[in-house]
Every structure is written in structure tokens, then in C-alpha cells.
A and B are shown apart, each in its own frame.
Chain A
Amino acid sequence: MGILPLGILVFFALMAVLLDLWAGRWWAKTASYAGIGAALVGELLLWGRRGNYMAGLLSQDAVGIVAGVLILLFAFLALLITDGYDLKVNIKEGEIYILMTLSAAGALVMVTTRHLLVAFLGMEILSVANYALAGLKRDTLSKEAAVKYAVLGTVASVFFVLGMAFYYGTGGGFLLDTRVAASPSPMALASGLLLFSSLMFKASLFPFHFWTPDVYQGSPAPITAFFSVVTKTAGFVFLLRLSDFVIHPEVKWFILAASVLSMLYGNLVALKQQDIKRLMAYSSISHAGYMAMGLLLEKQGAWVLLFYLAAYGFMNLGAFAVISSLLEKNSLLNYRGLAKDYSPLAVFLAFFMVSLAGFPPTAGFLAKFFLFAEVGRAGFWPLVVIAAITTLVSVYYYLRVVLVMYMTEGRPTASYLPSGILTMFISAFFVLELGIFPSTLLVFLKYFVG
């Protein structure tokens, strides 16, 4: 039962490959929708169950299921953004859908296992699909993005393999468990640092963020959205599992430093960006910094982090749905006067920006509220103050996007893509819903996770 969603997803992804060959891209697209939708239903059916499958290679628990639901939901929304956008920017291959489905399958593997080898497999499925996705636009920037992502991603994979080897060397086998966590040996420390570094690459945390701006800028906009939510969710959920087991006191300092530097670096550099995708890239780094604070918490960390991931995912997907509607005219100059000519798009983007900046009554506010409050409760008050101050910095650049759209004149061009609009509505619904009635999600999180 536990591997049902994964099985469905992989089956449909492979079907989509064949259908793309024989029947055309429409069928590949439909198979992808069907696969992700069916897997989502399957994942929801598992709600509340736990257990180990396939001799412990896969294991299902509350965190994994919530993360799985989020990943599949995000992937579905990312497919919706892609639908219609792809033909407008001349991406005619059906592969874009297939690769996204495969990448989502990799992410799903990552969150449903405690076995390092299986996690590595999942990470590679995700990464290889991502490298190809980044290059699909086929202009110079897109190619550069793909190469950069692939080269740096491979380095991260090497880190993971090395970390895994050290972990094995400490006598723990490949399963994450408590025995190794307790061992104070330098080898355990090395394995912790290496594994964390590798995952921090996926989550675009500070010293491993270098790929983020270029890849975000070069990739097609819906794919950027996909990277920023699906990959990040998978990365953070696995980081969460690692921090349950491999947490060494020194590793904790490492996370803390990465978190602070990500907040500072991401927010400060975002101030000067003129390209909205680069701006979103730095925003993504800074949000990773906030989320990394959640890794410092003990058991409390899980639910605040999952809530943050949910909120961040919806607001980012919504924002990228609007960005995709401008069809790769990504300079902020192209957003001048958007409120006059394309009022609905501007309203949505302004709403998501306000949420990303953390204003009530949106999900962005409550996500920050719970996270900061829990981090404070754990005693990291200086960290909370830094987070609050960097949030202030972020208000400036998020509101600058609003300012450009509403308070300057220009002649923007955009197109209303039906499924993109649908995504905006769905995302806005969830951002408001989580912002005003968060208990709908929190009840489950507290009951199963916390």
C-alpha cells in the first residue's frame, strides 16, 4: 500500500514517455496530469498511516505523507502553469511534462525513505530531470543554466556519496538511526557535514546557493517555479530527517551559520535585482534561510517547517504563474504599468508579493509567525531578531515589485493563459486559507507530526 503513489507516478511517467513517442504531446501531457493527480489521491488515502516497505528501503510516516501531498500538489500546479505557456515560448516537446513528472517522482522517493542509498537514487532522479528541464528553453541563458546546474549538482551528489560512505564507516549501515547520531567520532561529524552540504545545495542555502540565480533566470518560468517549490520541499524534508538523526553539536552551528548568512545574503542582494526571476532567486535563498532555522528545533521543527513549506510553495507558485504570463519578459521594466493594462495579473502578483513579504492576513505572515515564535521559544532570540530585521529588508524589494506595477507608467505585454489564471486562483485561495484558517492544516500537522 505504502508505495502505491510512487508506483502510480512512475507508471504514468513511463506511459507518458511512450505516449509522447507514439501519440503526441497532448497524450504525454494528459498522462502526466493523470499520474500526478492519481498519485495525489493515493497519497491522501495513506493519510495517517505509517510503516516500512520493501525491507525498510521505503518508509512512510506523517512527515513523509504531508510532504508527499505538498510535492504532488505543487507539481500539479506547476504543470498547470506550464500548460499553454510552453507553446507561447516555442517549447514544443512533450518532454517538459514527462520530466516534471519524473522529477516529482524523485522528490517523492526522497521524502518517503530513511535509507541513504534510496534517498540518493531519488535525489538523482530529481536532479537529472531538473538538469534537462533547465535547458528546455534553448537560448544561451537556458543552456548556461542547464550546464551550471548539472556541473554543480554533480558536485553536490559527490558530497552525498562521500557523506554516505562516512556514515557507513561509522558503523551505521545505510539506514538513518540513533546509534550513529550518538557517536561523537570525527567521521560522524564529517558525514553529517557532507550530507547536509549536499542537501543544502538542493535547498539553495548560503554557501551552496551559487547556482540559484543563474538557473532561475535561465530556466523557463514554470520550471523555475517547479525548482523553487518541489526541489526545495524535497530537500528540506530530507534535511529535517537528517537533523533528527545525524545532528552533531558542530553540525548545528553549521546550520545556524548557513541560516543567518542565507537570510542576510539573500535579502540584501535581492534589493538590487532588476530581473524578476533573479529577484525571486534571491528571495528563495532568503526563505531557505528562514526555513533552516526550523532545522535547529527538536521535534517542534517538523510542523512549523512543513507549514512554512506549504505557505511558501503556494505563494511562490502563484507569483510564478503571473511571471509566466509575461512570457519571459523578465526585466522589472516590463512590469511598469501592469496594473493599468492587465489589472487581474497585477492584483495577483501584488497579493503574492505581500504574502512573501509576510503581511497578515496571508499565509506568509503566519508561516513566519509560527516559525519565528518556535525558534524563539527554543531560546535562539538573537536569531529571531536577525530574522525580523532581514524581513524588514525583504519588505522593500517585494513592495518594489508592487510599486513598479502600480505606481509607474509603461506599456507591458502579457497574455492571459487560462490554466495559469486557474493556478493563480488556486494558489491565492490556499494562501488566504492558510493565512486566515490555518487550523485546517495545523490540526493535521499537530496530530500526526508534532
Chain B
Amino acid sequence: MISVMVFLPAAGAVFLLFVSGKRTGFIKGFSLGISSGVFLLAVWLFVNFNPYYPLPQFVERARWIGFGLNYHVGTDGISLVLVALTALLSPLALASSFRYIKEREKEFYIMLLLLETGMLGVFVAQNLFLFYIFWEAMLIPMYFIIGIWGGERKLYATVKFVLYTMAGSLLMLVGIFYLWKLSPDHSLYFYRLYSLEIPHQAQILLFLAFALAFAIKVPLFPFHTWLPDAHTEAPTAGSVLLAGILLKMGGYGFLRLAMPLFPEAFRLFLPYLLVLSIVSIIYGAAMAFVQEDAKRLIAYSSVSHLGVVMLGIFALSFRAYMGGIYQMLNHGLSTGALFLLIGMVYERTHTRDMKNLGGLARPLPVLAAFLMVTVLSSVGLPGLNGFVGEFLVFLGTFETNRVAAALAALGIILAAVYLLWMYQRVMQGRAREKFLSLPDMSLREILIMVPLVVLFFWMGLYPGFFMKKFERSARFMMEITQQKYKIISLVNQGGER
């Protein structure tokens, strides 16, 4: 089932190769259909997932290359919610592009579908080899999406994006070779690797290699410089998926690989990682303050919010850990929604410069309302999703490290200011003449936003429904990180090889 879900978009992309590029209506409908089908499969997985079992479920394995390099997918609770997020955001991003993308439409939808396969694959891969393959393969569609359909400085942005990501992941690849050599059955299966005894010296080097790859992806300060360019230049769908999914892979990589594989080294570098998270929170917020470009502002707000996520994951308290994972989902939904809405504004006004915007609430009342809800969700208003995640992160961090919690909370106050200020500069004030006749949101656009807004409230008011799904897995991963020995016996009980 998982394999079908992962490779369905790729199969659709291959099919689209042979469809004439002129039949745009069919291409859009077809790719949206494929993407929605993936979403239904993800819902099926979500519903049928057994939340009381911490290890990967729906496991599918096949002999592949030999040398222990096999095909192995499955999903535990953490992967499950991230898969669900991917499967939800992909069709929305796709649908948001129907009017935005006007040239080479066929190629665009092919690239989006390939990207979806790559993103899902990263989250369901159960061995390091497969993980790396999806991790790398995903870069190529994103390279095209930013490079062909991006804004003015798209070439610079896309090359920077690929080179930064590759720089991290190639060193990680060297680390993978080392683990491959070290592991007794050469399987690179995650839960096998967790029980490896890795020499201390090697752990440090390996942790640095893995952490660099993931820190660039998150991105943690000072590895974030690719992000504002990539986000700003990418087309709306690209920004949504970059912020919504790709950044999560950094956090996912940390909690799935870098931390549990090399716990001693992680402990050693923990203070620096905490500092980097806090610097990311404050620096991202400070940079967001001074942006004139609305998209760039959201990009920097992502740096800040991802800092909160990483703080939660690094804090070594179970509450914060849960909050960090929950906050990954929240950030994916809220920031995705922000990029969608700013994209809609841009489609109408052809500018994102906030100096030239203003007063849009009058011609676009529905859009303004959606933007308000989204901004409030993003700043963490109680009752909406952002609050739950941030609250847990700060509560948990406060237990283990009060200074860190206090400093990070500062960043959150700033977030409320710059995001609300953005809303004010875009929507309020005197409306310009030329903007007065703009059409408000179409039915398609409203339908894109409704599921997100429903989720803002659902996840804010009834978080248990979602947390229950990944609580066991999160506790399990956390325990692996903290005390390795407990786990070996559990894995063997689970009957995994």
C-alpha cells in the first residue's frame, strides 16, 4: 500500500510525458486526480494505523540490489503524520498553480508529481540507502521548479539551493559508507543501526556530517542563507512545498537519524545546537522585521519557527519533543497557507512589495479573513494549532533549560509583531485606486484554503486526535536517543529481522 502511494505520482508523471503538452485541462485534472488519490491512500493509512505500536507499520520489503541494500518502506507514527502532511499539501499546491503557471504547464505538473514521490519516499524509507536516494532524487524536480518557473533571480536561487543541499548530503553519504561498513548485516536498516556500537571518535565525525546535512535543510542559522532566496524566487507551489515539507526533512533527519544513531556525540554538541536554535529563532524574527517583500518575510519567519521546532526536538524533554513534532505539522500548514495566500495576492496585484500594497481588505474581504486566521495560527493564538505546539515546546524546554526557554519565548513575541504588521501593511490602510476592482477569491481558491483552516481549528482545539498517532513512536525514538540499551530487546521483540 505504501509503495503504491509513493510511486503513484511518479507513474503519473511518466504517463504525462506521453500526453501532448497542449491538453492542459486534461494534464491539470489528471495530476490533481493522482495527487488526491495519494491523499486518500494517506488517509487510509492514517485511519488504519495502530497508535499503540511504536515500530514501523505497513512494512513492505523486497530484495533489491544485494549487499544488504534492499527496498524497505514502512511508517511509524512520526512518519505517518509527515506523510499525511505531504499528501495534503501536494494537491493543494498543485491546485494553486492552475492559473499561476502559464508556460510549460505539462513539465510543471510532471515535476510536481516527481517531487511528491521524492518527499513521500524520504518519510517512509526504512533504511539509510533508500532514504538517501529519495533525499537526493527530490532535489532535481525542485531545481527545475525554481529554475524554470521562478521569479527574477531564479537561476541564482536554484543553483544556490541545490549546491547547499548537496554540500551537506555528500558528506552524509560518506557517513553512510562508514555505517554500511560497520553494520554486521550491511542492511542499513534504521532500527539495526540504532543498536550499533559506534566508536566515540567516529561518532563525532559522523554526527557532524549528518547534522550538517540536516542543519542546512532545516535550516539552522548560519546555514540558512539559501532559504530566503529559494523561497522568494520559487513559484507559489514551490514555496509551499519547500516550506511545508522540505524543511521538515531536516527536523525529521535529526530525530530519526542524527540523534538516535550518535547519541553520545549528540550530547556533546547539544549546547551548540541549542544555541543555534535560539539564534535561529531570534535572528529569523529580526530579519523578518525589516523585509519589504512579503514572501521574503515569510521565509525568514520560517527560519524563526523552525528554530522553535528544533529547540523542542533538542530539549530532551518528552513534552518539548512532542511539541516539536506537532509544531512541524503546524508550521507546514500555516506557512504553506501563508505562501498560498501571498501567492493569490501576487496573482492579482503582481507585486509582493509591501510598500506598494495596502488596503486590500476592501476589495478582497474573503482573502483578508483567511489571511487573518492564518496569521493568527502562525503566531500561536490559543485555540488555533500554533499555540499547542509552541506551548508544549516552551513548557518542555523550561523543564530542562530555563534560559533557553526564556530567550526563545522572546522570538515568539517578535513573531506576533512582524506577522500582524505584515497583515496590516497588506490588508489595511487606504486602498489604491488600481486595486479597488480586484476580484476576490474564486471558488477554487476557497476550496484550497478551507481544508487548511479546518485543520487549524481541529489541531488547535482537539490536538489529542493527532498526537495520539505519534505519541508512542515519539516516546520510543526519544528513548533510543537517551538510553540506547533498552531498545535492542524491543526491536527484536518486534520481529524485525
Contacts and interface: CB of A to CB of B under 8 A. Distances in A.
A400 B140 CA distance: 13
A373 B179 CA distance: 10
Q: Which of A377, A407, A442, A443 has the most CB of B within 10 A?
A: A407
B52 interface: no
A385 B163 contact: no
Interface stretch (A109-117, A234-242, A357-365): A357-365
A66 to B, nearest CB: 17
A372 B174 contact: yes
A359 B139 contact: yes
B148 interface: yes
B139 A373 contact: no
Contacts of A443: 66
Contact of A365 (B133, B147, B167): B133
B155 interface: yes
A391 interface: yes
Contact of A388 (B64, B147, B159, B171): B171
Given A407-B154, A438-B65, A381 B174 contact: yes
A442 B65 contact: yes
Interface string A99-143: 000000000000000000000000000000000000000000000
B180 interface: yes
A154 to B, nearest CB: 40
Q: Which of B134, B155, B170 has the most CB of A within 10 A?
A: B170
A407 B66 CA distance: 39
Contact of B137 (A359, A372, A400): A359
A361 B137 contact: yes
Contacts of B163: 392, 395-396
A391 B166 CA distance: 9
A360 B147 contact: no
A365 B171 contact: no
Contacts of A372: 173-174, 177
A388 B172 CA distance: 10
A284 B167 CA distance: 22
A385 B171 contact: yes
Contacts of B194: none
B292 interface: no
A392 B140 contact: no
B66 A439 contact: yes
Given A384-B177, A406-B144, A406-B148, A389 B66 contact: no
B171 A376 contact: no
Contacts of B136: 359-360, 365
Contact of A403 (B65, B140, B147, B178): B147
Contacts of A361: 133, 137
A407 B181 contact: no
**Which of under 10, 10 to 19, 20 to 34, or 35 or more describes the interface residues of A?**
20 to 34
Interface string B162-188: 110011001101100110110000000
Given A372-B177, A385-B174, A396 B133 contact: no
B474 to A, nearest CB: 29
Contacts of A360: 132-134, 136-137
A354 interface: yes
Majority secondary structure of chain A interface residues (helix, strand, loop or mixed): helix
Q: Which of B133, B158, B171 has the most CB of A within 10 A?
A: B133
Contacts of A385: 171, 174
Interface in A325-364: 354, 359-361
Contacts of B134: 360
A443 B65 CA distance: 9
A438 B171 CA distance: 24
A373 B174 CA distance: 8
B148 A376 contact: no
Nearest to A393: B163
A263 to B, nearest CB: 13
B33 to A, nearest CB: 24
B262 interface: no
Interface string A166-193: 0000000000000000000000000000
A376 B206 CA distance: 14
Contact of B147 (A354, A392, A395, A407): A407
B143 interface: yes
B145 to A, nearest CB: 11
Given A359-B139, A392-B163, A395-B163, A384 B65 contact: no
B172 to A, nearest CB: 9
A399 interface: yes
A439 B66 CA distance: 7
A443 B180 CA distance: 20
Interface string B332-364: 000000000000000000000000000000000
A446 B65 CA distance: 12
Contacts of A403: 147, 155, 158-159
B213 to A, nearest CB: 11
A439 B159 contact: no
Q: Which of A361, A369, A406, A438 has the most CB of B within 10 A?
A: A369
A365 B178 CA distance: 17
B137 A442 contact: no
A395 B158 CA distance: 13
Contact of B177 (A365, A376, A400): A376
Nearest to B202: A381
A388 B137 contact: no
Contacts of B64: 439
Contacts of A439: 64-66
Contacts of A399: 143, 159, 162
Given A359-B140, A376-B178, A399-B162, A388 B170 contact: yes
Contacts of A369: 173
A294 to B, nearest CB: 15
Interface in A20-56: none
A388 to B, nearest CB: 4
A391 B159 contact: no
Interface in B60-92: 64-66
A406 B177 contact: no
B147 A406 contact: yes
Contact of B159 (A359, A366, A396, A438): A396
A392 B148 CA distance: 22
A384 B174 contact: yes
A366 B64 CA distance: 13
B174 A395 contact: no
Contacts of A365: 133, 136
A395 B154 CA distance: 17
Contacts of A438: 65
B159 A377 contact: no
Nearest to A391: B170
Contacts of B166: 392, 395
Contacts of A407: 147-148, 154-155, 158
Contacts of A359: 136-137, 139-140
Contacts of A377: 177, 181
Contacts of A400: 159
A445 B65 CA distance: 13
A377 B186 CA distance: 12
B140 A354 contact: yes
Contacts of B162: 395, 399
A166 to B, nearest CB: 38
Q: Considering the complex of A and B, which 8 residue pairs feature the smallest CB-CB distances, nearest first?
A: A360-B133, A388-B170, A376-B177, A373-B177, A407-B147, A377-B181, A360-B137, A392-B166
Given A354-B140, A369-B173, A376-B174, 4 more contacts: A381-B178, A392-B163, A392-B170, A407-B154
28 contacts: A359-B140, A360-B132, A360-B133, A360-B134, A361-B133, A365-B136, A369-B173, A372-B174, A373-B180, A376-B174, A376-B181, A377-B177, A377-B181, A384-B174, A385-B174, A388-B173, A392-B166, A395-B163, A402-B143, A403-B159, A407-B147, A407-B154, A407-B155, A439-B65, A442-B65, A442-B66, A443-B66, A446-B66
Interface of B: 64-66, 132-134, 136-137, 139-140, 143-144, 147-148, 154-155, 158-159, 162-163, 166-167, 170-171, 173-174, 177-178, 180-181
